[in-house]
C-alpha cells in the first residue's frame, strides 16, 4: 500500500511539471534553431511563450511538437517584430528577440481580476458576433491602385467590450492560376472608418504559403475596440503595383481561427471568418475609351443683346464626353466657329461652372490645349456622360444681327497609363446664336395644346392650337405683339404643312413691352377641316415670329424647334 501511494505521489508530481506556466517558459534561454518537425522542451516553452503573447491559440495545449500551428503563430510573432522574412522559422534573429523578452519577469494574474491593458476594456470577458460587411462589395472593375477597399468585417460586442488584435487573411490572386499576392499588392492597410490601425508593407516574403498552397498574412497589434452592444466595421484595403494584365483577387478569413480578440480580463478568443469572402478584379490601367456626342439638352438658337460698349458672353456650344473602362484626362479640344457679321474674339471651355480654359479664335479655329493640368479636365471612367459648355465672347461693338455657330471638331485625351488618344464619335455642330443691339427674345412657357371639333358623325370640322409664350425686350421697346406676327402651321405625319386660317394673340400687360421687361403672350390659331385635304395625324408648330424692337424688325424662323405640340391628333374626313 505504501509503495502504491509513493508511486502515485511520484507520478502526480511528475505530471505536475509537464505543463509549466507561461512565466516559466519565458525564463528559458533558447540555443538551437527550430523548424517544422522539431520536438523538445524548448518547443514546449516556445509554444507557451507564443501563447502568452496571444499568437498561439489559448485553447491548444503546448505539445512540444513544432507543427503548422506553431509555424503560423511564430510567423505572426515575427510580423509583429518586423522580422523578415516572417516564414515561421525559429532562427538566430527570432531566437535573440525571444531570449530578450524572456529576461523580463512577468507577474501572474488571477482571471477576472486583472487590470485591462487596452483602453476601453473592462475586467469582464466579452464575446463577438461577426458577419461580412456590406461594404466594400465585390468589384469586377477596379481601376484605382491606392488604398482600394477589398474586405470588411462587421463586429458586435456582447456582455463586455472586446478588442480585436489579430486578423488572418487568405488572399488568392488568379491569372491563369495562383500567384504570390506580393506580385500585385505593395501595401495592406486596416481601417477603423478613416483611421488607419495598421500598415503592412508587402514583399514576396510577406505572404506565407501553407501545405495546401494557400497564401495568407497575419496582421497583428490592431487594438480595435468594440464597445459593449456596439457594432463596428473593420475594413482592409490594398494598394497595388502596375500590372500588365487583369488580376482577380479573392479575400477571405484564413482557417477557423481567423480573428483573435481579447477581453479586459486578458482572455483571448478566436473567431472563424473563413466563409466571409470578397472578390475583385483589378484591371490593367491605361485602357480608357472616350466618346464625343451631342448633349442631351440640345442648344437652340436664341437672341442676345450687345450695348455698343461692354463685351457679352454667349453660350454657343454644348457637348458630352463619356469615358469607359477608366478615367480620361483632357489634353486638347479643337473647335471651329463660323460667323456672319462680327466674329467672336475668344471661346471659353467649361465643365459645369468650372472654367477649364480660354482660347483665342484665329481664322475660325480655337484650340484649347495643354489641358492636362487644368481644372475640370477629368472625365470619370464610370460610363456616365459629362456635359461641357463653350461660351463665346463678343465685343461690345458687334454688328447688329451678327450670328455664329461653333462645332467641336475633335478631342484628344490621356489614358490612365499616360498614352494619348482621340475621342471617338462625330463632330458636334451647334445652332447659330444671334446678337442684336435691340431684340425680342421669345421662350416657350408651357406645352402647346392641340384639339379638334367633330360633328355628330365623328368627322373633324376644325382644329385649334394654343401656345403660351414669354417675350423679353432687349435693348429697346418691343412693339405689342398681334396675331399676324405669328406664322402657325398644321402638319401631317407625312410632313405636309398647312397655314392656320385664324390667329389671335392676347398679351399681358396689353401694351408695348419696355426695355428689360417681359410679357405673357397667348397665341391661338385654328383651321377648318375643309382646308385640310387629307385625313390623318396632325401636329401644330410655330413656323416663325415677326417682332419689332426699337429700330430692328426681324422675322425669326430660328430657335423655335420646341415651339410645337408634342403629340398628334387624328383628323377624320
Q: How many helices (H) and strands (E) does the chain have?
A: 5, 38
**119, 80, 389: which is closest to 218 by C-alpha?**
80
Nearest-angstrom CA–CA distance, 414 and 288:
9
SS3 letters across 511-565 = CCECCCCEEEEEEEEEEEHHHCCCCEEEEEEEEEEEEEECCEEEEECCCCCCCEC
Confidence bin at 516 (pLDDT 50/70/90): very high
Place of cell 511563450: 49
Instruction: Kindly state which CATH superfamily the domain 19-102 is placed in.
Output: PGBD-like superfamily/PGBD (1.10.101.10)
Positive or negative torsion for Cα 34, 40, 42, 45: positive
Confidence category of residue 508, pLDDT binned at 50, 70, 90: very high
Q: Given phi > 0 = left and psi -120 to 50 = alpha, else beta, which region is 183?
A: alpha
Distance CA 483, CA 504 (A): 4
Delimit the CATH 1.10.101.10 region(s) of the chain: 19-102
Integer Cα distance of 293 and 323 in angstroms: 12
Neighbours of 274 (CB within 10 A): 15
Q: What is the pLDDT of residue 177?
A: 52
- Given a cut of 70, is residue 104 above it in pLDDT? no
Residue 5: is its pLDDT beyond 60?
no
More confident: 83 or 441: 441
Inter-CA distances, 297 with 318, 387, 429, 443, Å: 8, 10, 14, 15
Q: Is 470 helix (H, G, I), strand (E, B) or coil?
A: strand
**What is the phi/psi pair of residue 2, to 5°?**
-65, -40
- When pLDDT is averaged across residues 441-445 and rounded to a whole number, the result is 95
Distances (CA, A) of 250 to 151, 178, 219, 281, 511: 9, 11, 17, 9, 75
Here the cell at position 252 is: 477571405
* Average pLDDT along the chain: 87
Rounded CA separation 120/228 (Å): 10
pLDDT surpassing 60 at residue 18: no
Three cell numbers at 390? 463653350
Domain(s) labelled CATH 2.60.40 in the chain stretch across 127-282, 289-437, 440-571
Residues 6+ apart with CB under 8 A from 1: none
Per residue in 189-223, pLDDT (tens digit) is: 999 999 999 999 998 888 988 888 889 999 988 99
Sheet (strand 354-360) strand order: 289-294, 312-324, 386-394, 346-351, 354-360
pLDDT in tens, 533-558: 888 888 999 999 999 999 999 999 99
Among candidate residues 191, 106, 212, 182, the one with its CA nearest the CA of residue 148: 191
Q: Print the SS3 string covering 413-442.
A: EECCCCCEEECECCCEECCCEEEECCEEEE
> Which one-letter DSSP state was computed for residue 34?
B
Tens digits of per-residue pLDDT, 354-407?
A: 999 999 999 999 999 999 999 999 999 888 999 999 999 999 999 999 999 999
Closest CA to 538 of 499, 514, 567, 502: 567
In this prediction, residue 84 carries a pLDDT of: 80
Phi-psi group of 40: left, alpha or beta (phi > 0 → left; psi -120 to 50 → alpha; rest → beta): left
The residue that leads in pLDDT, 85 or 485, is 485
Q: How far is CA 151 from CA 128, 137, 193, 198, in A?
A: 18, 8, 13, 14
Region 127-282: CATH code:
2.60.40
Among candidate residues 161, 276, 174, the one with its CA nearest the CA of residue 226: 161
Summarised one tens digit per residue, pLDDT across range 20-67 is 333 444 457 888 889 988 888 888 889 888 888 888 887 777 888 888
pLDDT at position 69 is 87
Q: What percent of the chain clears pLDDT 70, i.e. is strictly above it?
A: 91
Question: How many Å apart are CA 17 and CA 15, to the nearest integer?
Answer: 5
Which CATH fold would you assign to the domain 289-437?
Answer: Immunoglobulin-like (2.60.40)
Q: Are 108 and 381 in contact (CB under 8 A)?
A: no
Name the band, by pLDDT with cuts 50, 70 and 90, for residue 285.
low
Least confident of 4-18, 163-177, 218-232, 414-428: 4-18
CATH number for the region 440-571 comes to 2.60.40
Q: Dihedral of CA 41/42/48/51: which sign?
A: negative
17 vs 264: which has the higher pLDDT: 264
Report whether pLDDT(1) > 60. Answer: no
pLDDT of 145-157, one tens digit each? 889 999 999 999 9
Q: What integer pLDDT is reported at residue 286 of this predicted model?
A: 64
What confidence score (pLDDT) does residue 102 get?
64
Confidence check: pLDDT of 106 > 50: no
3-state SS of 101-157 is HHCCCCCCCCCCCCCCCCCCCCCCCCEEEEEECCCCCCEEEECCCCCEEEEEEEEEE
- For position 6, what pLDDT does the model report? 42
Count of CB atoms within 10 A of residue 257's CB? 22
The set of cell numbers assigned to 82 is: 518586423
Determine the pLDDT at residue 81: 86
User: Which helix (H) or strand (E) element contains residue 8?
Assistant: helix 2-15
Please give the C-alpha separations between residue 179 and each of 144, 213, 236, 241, in angstroms, as whole numbers.
21, 10, 20, 14
**Given a cut of 90, is residue 517 above it in pLDDT?**
yes
Q: What is the pLDDT of residues 220-250, one digit of tens each?
A: 889 999 999 999 999 999 999 877 678 899 9
Cell of 304: 442676345
Mean pLDDT of 264-285: 86
Q: Cα dist. 77→14, 47, 49, 208, 267 in Å? A: 31, 11, 10, 13, 18
Amino acid at each position: 500500500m505504501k509503495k502504491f501511494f509513493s508511486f502515485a505521489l511520484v507520478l502526480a508530481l511528475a505530471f505536475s511539471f509537464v505543463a509549466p506556466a507561461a512565466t516559466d517558459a519565458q525564463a528559458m534561454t533558447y540555443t538551437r534553431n527550430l523548424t517544422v518537425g522539431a520536438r523538445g522542451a524548448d518547443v514546449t516553452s516556445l509554444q507557451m511563450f507564443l501563447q502568452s503573447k496571444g499568437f498561439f491559440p489559448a485553447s491548444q495545449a503546448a505539445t512540444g511538437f513544432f507543427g503548422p500551428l506553431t509555424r503560423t503563430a511564430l510567423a505572426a510573432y515575427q510580423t509583429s517584430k518586423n522580422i523578415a522574412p516572417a516564414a515561421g522559422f525559429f532562427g538566430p534573429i527570432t531566437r535573440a528577440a525571444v531570449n530578450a523578452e524572456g529576461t523580463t519577469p512577468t507577474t501572474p494574474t488571477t482571471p477576472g481580476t486583472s487590470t485591462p491593458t487596452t483602453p476601453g476594456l473592462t475586467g469582464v470577458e466579452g464575446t463577438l458576433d461577426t458577419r461580412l460587411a456590406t461594404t466594400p462589395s465585390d468589384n469586377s472593375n477596379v481601376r484605382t491602385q491606392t488604398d482600394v477597399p477589398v474586405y470588411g468585417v462587421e463586429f458586435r460586442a456582447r456582455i463586455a467590450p472586446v478588442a480585436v488584435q489579430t486578423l488572418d487573411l487568405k488572399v488568392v490572386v488568379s491569372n491563369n492560376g495562383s500567384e504570390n499576392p506580393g506580385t500585385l499588392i505593395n501595401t495592406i492597410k486596416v481601417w477603423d472608418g478613416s483611421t488607419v490601425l495598421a500598415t503592412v508593407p508587402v514583399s514576396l516574403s510577406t505572404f506565407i504559403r501553407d501545405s495546401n498552397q494557400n497564401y495568407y498574412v497575419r496582421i497583428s497589434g490592431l487594438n480595435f475596440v468594440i464597445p459593449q452592444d456596439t457594432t463596428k466595421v473593420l475594413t482592409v484595403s490594398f494598394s497595388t503595383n502596375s500590372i500588365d494584365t487583369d488580376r482577380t483577387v479573392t479575400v477571405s478569413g484564413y482557417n477557423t481561427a481567423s480573428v483573435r480578440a481579447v477581453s479586459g480580463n486578458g482572455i483571448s478568443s478566436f473567431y472563424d471568418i473563413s466563409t466571409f469572402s470578397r472578390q475583385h478584379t483589378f484591371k490593367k490601367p491605361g485602357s480608357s475609351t472616350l466618346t464625343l456626342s451631342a448633349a442631351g439638352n440640345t442648344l437652340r438658337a436664341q437672341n442676345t443683346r450687345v450695348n455698343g460698349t461692354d463685351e457679352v458672353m454667349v453660350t454657343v456650344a454644348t457637348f458630352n464626353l463619356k469615358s469607359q473602362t477608366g478615367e480620361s484626362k483632357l489634353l486638347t479640344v479643337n473647335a471651329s466657329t463660323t460667323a456672319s457679321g462680327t466674329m467672336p474674339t475668344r471661346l471659353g471651355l467649361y465643365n459645369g461652372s468650372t472654367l477649364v480654359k480660354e482660347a483665342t479664335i484665329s481664322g475660325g479655329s480655337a484650340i484649347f490645349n495643354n489641358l492636362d493640368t487644368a481644372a475640370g479636365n477629368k472625365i470619370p471612367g464610370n460610363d456616365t456622360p459629362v456635359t461641357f459648355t463653350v461660351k463665346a465672347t463678343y465685343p461690345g461693338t458687334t454688328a447688329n444681327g451678327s450670328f455664329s455657330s461653333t462645332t467641336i471638331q475633335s478631342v484628344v485625351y490621356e489614358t490612365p497609363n499616360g498614352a494619348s488618344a482621340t475621342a471617338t464619335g462625330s463632330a458636334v455642330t451647334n445652332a447659330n446664336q444671334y446678337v442684336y443691339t435691340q431684340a425680342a427674345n421669345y421662350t416657350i412657357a408651357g406645352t402647346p395644346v392641340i384639339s379638334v371639333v367633330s360633328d355628330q358623325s365623328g368627322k373633324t370640322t376644325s382644329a385649334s392650337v394654343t401656345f403660351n409664350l414669354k417675350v423679353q425686350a432687349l435693348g429697346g421697346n418691343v412693339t405689342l405683339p398681334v396675331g399676324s406676327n405669328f406664322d402657325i402651321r398644321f402638319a401631317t405625319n407625312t410632313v405636309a404643312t398647312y397655314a392656320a386660317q385664324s390667329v389671335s394673340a392676347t398679351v399681358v400687360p396689353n401694351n408695348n413691352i419696355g426695355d428689360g421687361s417681359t410679357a405673357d403672350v397667348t397665341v391661338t390659331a385654328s383651321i377648318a377641316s375643309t382646308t385640310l385635304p387629307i385625313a390623318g395625324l396632325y401636329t401644330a408648330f410655330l413656323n416663325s415670329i415677326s417682332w419689332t424692337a426699337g429700330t430692328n424688325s426681324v422675322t425669326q424662323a430660328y430657335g423655335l424647334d420646341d415651339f410645337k405640340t408634342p403629340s398628334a391628333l387624328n383628323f377624320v374626313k
